[in-house]
Amino acid sequence: MRLTNLLRTMVSAFLLLLSAGAFAQTGEDGYDLWLRYRPLEAGLQARYGRAATELVATGRSATVEAAAAELERGLSGLLGRPLPRTARIGKDGAILLGTPASTPAIAAMKLPLDRVGAEGFVIRSTRIGGRDVIVIAANQDIGLLYGAFRLLRLVQTGAAPEGLDIVDAPKAKLRLLNHWDNLDRTVERGYAGFSLWDWHKLPDYLDPRYTDYARANASIGINGTVLTNVNANAEVLTAPYLEKVKALAGVFRPYGIRVYLTARFSAPIEIGGLKTADPLDPAVRAWWRAKADEIYRTIPDFGGFLVKANSEGQPGPQDYKRNHADGANMLADAVKPHGGVVMWRAFVYAADNREDRAKQAYSEFKPLDGHFRDNVIVQVKNGAIDFQPREPFHPLFGAMPKTPLVMEFQITKEYLGFATHLAYLGTMWEEVLRADTGHGGTVARVVDGSLHHYPVSGLAGVANIGNDRNWTGSHFDQANWYAFGRLAWDPDASARTIAADWARMTFSNEDGFVRPTVDVMMASHQAVVDYMTPLGLHHLMATGHHYGPGPWVNDLGRPDWNPTYYHRADAQGIGFDRTRSGSDAVSQYAPSVARIFADPKRVPEDLLLWFHHLPWDHRMASGRSLWDELVLRYGRGVAEVRRMRATWESLRPFVDPRRHADVAAFLRIQEKEAIWWRDASVAYFRSINRLPLPPGAPEPAMSLDAYKALSFPHAPGNPS
């Protein structure tokens, strides 16, 4: 072929692809998450081009195949040329993927694999047979998959490809998503459309999206998923549904992800035909054993059960005058022969309990420490109320040395602006994990199991995933899914580092983009706290759907469902006294911590009204009165959102038009709703204290009655 002919052919092929590429612009809709694998800039491409020329993976499991396929997909995208798979190292720049068992060359190397356990990995730049090689080694195949994703992250974020020497393993054993997905595909507290699980078409149709879900989770180390809502439906335990669960488990297995289900405590009655669900009744115990046997026959690596019992109307052992340990242990005995676990939620507050709701989980569970089977894990929300914009860490952390505690974070933003508010939760979770329990270590040391030498450890995140094209309802909410996985892998990881990695992989590696974007993310959670619930206020949202402000609500069936129960504002002051003069919830904390929380001068201002009822003219550190400070904080939150909008506007050159427009539209909504929160809250509290607004604070846009009259009967995520 003459050069000119070749050129002509190339030009036409180029133009053809250009047009195909132009058409594929709809691809930038967020579906690819942080696994976009778009071409690197030329300099990095050249550098990595030399370091990644071929792929050698000798293992044959589905997990090794997944790892190799991901490297091929990722590196060919990033480097702009195919990554050939070869049987042996043939040139400089080979990537060698293997375990000592599968790959003699790796067995022959002195790699510190004894430090990485079953799931960790080693990545090392070295020379084998005179060739420059990047080795990804692990003890088990799943470590290879995690190592492959780690190498891809390095390339994606522009790290230097030379001299790699990484030894890493997860600190927590269970790293789980909790889906609050119902069998009708509605998602409780879901703001990303509807459930991914298309139960009706399972097990016959396996949506390719299930595989992408598994890829995304594996890329951040998630190793289990609870498919169903904690407000559970027993039907998922029937044979036809177990076949569907089995099909999903088959998709997830190569990615190291086990499936778990929620167990409705009354299932023996509802689907078993028994008259009772009493955990000490032999027939009930036999039913659960048989059910567990059936499940494990169907899904041999089934993870276990997650249970919400005797909470918010769910059935439980207390219906039969048994305690939580009785209930949990019965289920634990059923799954124990199969290696399963029971995660028993500590989120309880009894209908007939007049104690401060913040105290009830501790009161019920602390006495049970030491009474649970060794395959029971108690799952504790980060705070004692319910995923509020900010809570002090839960007093159970550190108080249950004999019972493994799993942290439950809420990734979905039930109380943090649904999908449309940009609120990066990495900082909130970091704050909780780094909190000193006063029992000899931080919360992170509790949940990674090291403080009390728990036999099992873990973190669970209530998923924000739905069938919206971008998975999480908004592009920036992907960062929360991502950050949860990273923190579950390493509870000591830095929220800022995680944010930066995510921003680079998801949008752009350019510093001019990354720095301001990370700054926005790092400031975003505090902004939401400020415009929704500043200074330690909490539980002020509207009823049911929790969309928007409702600090005035005081007519619900139970005292502790009412916002007024939590803020206790009157003409004189505001706040919930949880010191000794009040509910004494502070005493559930270790003395060193309790002393700080109990002292209005030492407690962090962001938790002030969580623990203290104070007069409106209480003098704050700023010198301002509490009332003026409160109003100022509301305004500060709105101002921060305006700054976020301006910053995002300035980043337009770095972001594809579709996603830039999506985020910009949501920031407009966030500003509108931040103003709504501020104005409605200020209008309400002013009606209580009759005080003037501080100078410069804007008048609320509408009357208090107008805010009260707003109604949103179809707000999403509301269980009907």
> For binding to its own copies (CB under 8 A), which residues are involved?
3-4, 6-7, 10-24, 26-27, 29, 31-32, 37-39, 73, 76-77, 79-82, 183-185, 193-194, 199-201, 204-206, 208-209, 235, 418-420, 467-469, 658, 662, 665-666, 668-669, 672, 712-716
DSSP class per residue in 223-235: -EEE-S-SS--GG
Task: Compute CA distances 269 → 70, 315, 667, whole Å.
Answer: 46, 11, 48
Two tokens at 602? Answer: 């030492």
Q: What is the largest CA-CA distance in the chain?
A: 92
Rounded to 5 degrees, φ, ψ at 606 are -70, -10
Catalytic, out of 119, 141, 326, 386:
386
Between 178 and 670, CB nearer to its own copies = 670
Could you confirm whether 577 is annotated as catalytic? no
- Find tokens 């200020």 and name the residue: 682
Catalytic, out of 391, 414, 501, 628:
414
Between 209 and 373, CB nearer to its own copies = 209
Two tokens at 176? Answer: 């789980």
Two tokens at 384? Answer: 């004692």
Nearest approach in angstroms of CB 36 to its own copies is 8
Two tokens at 311? Answer: 């909470």
Nearest approach in angstroms of CB 209 to its own copies is 8
Between 196 and 527, CB nearer to its own copies = 196
Which distant-in-sequence residues (6+ apart) come within 8 Å of 191 by Cβ? 412, 413, 418, 419, 464, 466, 473, 477, 716, 717
Judge whether 612 and 579 are in contact, CB under 8 Å: yes
Judge whether 655 and 507 are in contact, CB under 8 Å: yes
- What whole-number distance in Å separates Cα of residue 208 and Cα of residue 102? 29
Residue 619 CB: number of other CB atoms within 10 A?
A: 12
- What whole-number distance in Å separates Cα of residue 143 and Cα of residue 121? 5
Could you confirm whether 386 is annotated as catalytic? yes
Residues 469, 482, 516, 467, Cα dihedral to 10°? 10
- What whole-number distance in Å separates Cα of residue 288 and Cα of residue 271? 11
Could you confirm whether 430 is annotated as catalytic? no
- What whole-number distance in Å separates Cα of residue 469 and Cα of residue 503? 19
The candidate with the shortest Cα–Cα distance to 126, out of 95, 104, 154, is 95
Two tokens at 429? Answer: 């979770």
Judge whether 700 and 631 are in contact, CB under 8 Å: no
- What whole-number distance in Å separates Cα of residue 329 and Cα of residue 604? 39
The candidate with the shortest Cα–Cα distance to 248, out of 238, 256, 237, 259, is 259
Question: Edge-to-edge strands of the sheet including 121-128?
Answer: 54-57, 94-98, 131-137, 121-128, 165-168
Provide the residue count of the chain. 720
Query: Which residues have a catalytic role annotated?
Result: 312, 386, 414
